[in-house]
Structure 1
């Protein structure tokens, strides 16, 4: 570990969450009487010099390599800057059921703001993009996460965002994601080929990386753990679901062999063609609520 990072313990009789100041990254949510719902690698690296694998990365102002002029933009760092930034924990605004973190453009390296402006055609006559971001997690028998971003500058700007949740399953090969039947999606495993979800459930027999046009409720069924994770969203016109499969999963440096079997990413997103434009003073909220039901 390069440098110790602060981890906040939000606990009450209904559930517990652990959230790092580094990235405002939720690394655990366990409702009372249940197995952990959010997945983390056993040997996860927790240092200020790298993004955290697993949990719920907070992604802004671009998703993946970014998207500009109808194609991937090849931007770095991947998934923008918020998951690498030192957020501020709001001691007075947080309780044993609510964690609140804040971040602004003043906390971000100017070079990253310039990359954002250059590739998203932001007018910099009045300066680089200015923003305030708030991440809140309401913790109990359910978990509600909200990322709110506000334009505090004098020029409009465009952005992408996501709550990149890694959900714990007993065996990915037996997991089923319901709620996407008939939805159109881009298949990133096959060159972002456009397709339609023909089957009732999304299953994970091999590598899966898809961006669905869907804002509805979802249900991740897990017969091994005997439960379903129910997912509702706010401000999310898209659903991203990902699992690397055996070959790529075993090659990921901070995951042990075989750990790829124990998670499915189900992400609330606003990305690519659905990027959002905020005028000065405007704000946008992206939210996700997780609940557990007996299967």
Structure 2
């Protein structure tokens, strides 16, 4: 009998065909309401789940006693209780590597757009307000030659740093748990404690994963340590920043601006002032949202699921102690 999987997300026809060649594809769950008998029936049969932003809870897992593998179509897995999966012998796989460069593109685009006030001024032009030369009140800030601070210096942080150092002659600082001597030699990067990085950098770009240690890592105290001319860019997770403190800092001119692809609550509600603030560029969490990268991420999830359920090592296991 073929093992059964459900796909909660977007795969193309070729990817679905690849999975159906090896496994029985169950209908996707219309909801995750465990009081629904149909949902519980489907979960009781499933061996693998492919998807993103799954509401994985102990109750959810309890309804899926045969579950062996979750292949998430994302690099982040902060919403998944990894320890609980490991305790139950369930393997979690993610999609690192394939979205590194695309997410770094988004980060650097936010640096450029915020510094040069591109969204604000493009809206100004569309509104028909361009009737004369641009005055000093609409000037932006240079990016080239400035100091770029990376909070987190993994794959994505290093990719952003390369764009800054090699493309824009920027001085690179990084705050990370461990030194990166090879990248220091390659880019001339210098390691700093967080407070010192915040005080020196013209652009502070966040690329850390969301953990208990990094939740609200950037709050009122940290924002006060930044230059008044500095710009904060967040391509990590929204909860890495204390959003209320950031709004206050932007309103009071504690920092110059912010480029944000992630937020505490997504989608942003109507009450959030961030989209309407002239010194903010707000994007709808599009860090990896290109045709090429999303296809590659989905394929990585497909490959992880296929390999894991046929008893081979997947490409990117998170809790690989389950394999041992």
When Rg is computed on C-alpha atoms for both structures, the one with the higher figure is 2
| Short-chain TM bin | under 0.3
* Larger strand fraction of residues: 1
